[in-house]
Amino acid sequence: MVEFSLWDILRNLLGAARWTVSLSLIAFIGGGLVGLALLVLRISGNRLADRLIGIYVQVFQGTPLLMQLFLAYFGIALFGIKTSAWFAAALALTLYTSAFLTEIWRGCVNAIPRGQWEASGSLALSFREQLQYVILPQATRIAIAPTVGFLVQVIKGTALASVIGFIELTKAGSMISNATFKPFVVYSCVALLYFALCFPVSMYAKHLERKTLAR
C-alpha cells in the first residue's frame, strides 16, 4: 500500500481547494449580478415584482441549501439536458447567493432616508439617475460590510456541493480519508483549510463594519 504523508494529504487538499475558491467566486459574482437585478426590480415600485421577489427570497432562505442543490441537479436533468455536478452546483449556489444578497441590499437601500428619494425626484432625475447618482452610492457604503460577511457563508456553502459529487475541498477530504484511513488527520486539515479561507474574510468584514459604524 502507498503510504500518504501529511504533506501528500495537504498537497492534494490544496489542489482541491482551488475548486472551492472558484465555485465561491462564481456563486458570489453571479449571485451579486442576479441579486442586483432583483434589487432594482424590487425597488422600482412594481408591486407584483416586489411580492414575487419576496417569495423568491423566502423560499431560498427557508429551505436547506442541500435540497436546493439536489433540486438543481435532478431538475436540470428533467429537461433532458445532460448536466454536471459542477454546473448544478454553480447554478444552485448562484441563485441561493442572489436571494440573500438582494435581501441584504434591500435593507441597505431602505436605510437611505426617504428625503433623498424625494429630493432627487424633485430635481427631475429619472429612476435610473436617482439610483446611479444618489441612492446606490450611499447604500453601497453601508452594504459592503454585510456583503463581505456573506461571502463567508458562500464559501462554507460550497462544501455542500460535495454531496452531489462535485470534487472540491470537502469531497477531496472524503476521498483522501477513504484512501488513507486517516479520517482524523484529513478532516482536521480540511477544517483548517476552510478556516484559512474564511477567517481572513470574517476579520475583514468585522473591520469594515467597525469603519462603517465609526463614520
DSSP letter string over 138-160?
HHHHHHHHHHHHHHHHHHHHGGG
The single residue among 63, 84, 110, 140 that binds another protein, judged by CB under 8 A, is 63
Query: Binders of another protein: how many residues, by CB under 8 A?
Result: 41
Residue 7 or 184 with smaller CB distance to another protein: 184
Site string for another protein, 155-184 (x = CB under 8 A): -xx-xx-xx------x--xx--x----xxx
The single residue among 11, 111, 195, 210 that binds another protein, judged by CB under 8 A, is 195
Residue 202 or 212 with smaller CB distance to another protein: 202
The single residue among 25, 104, 198, 208 that binds another protein, judged by CB under 8 A, is 198
Contact 34, 95 (CB under 8 A): yes
DSSP letter string over 112-143?
S-HHHHHHHHHTT--HHHIIIIIIHHHHHHHH
Strands (E) in the chain, as ranges, are none
Site for another protein in 75-114 (CB under 8 A): 75, 78-80
Cell of 90: 454553480
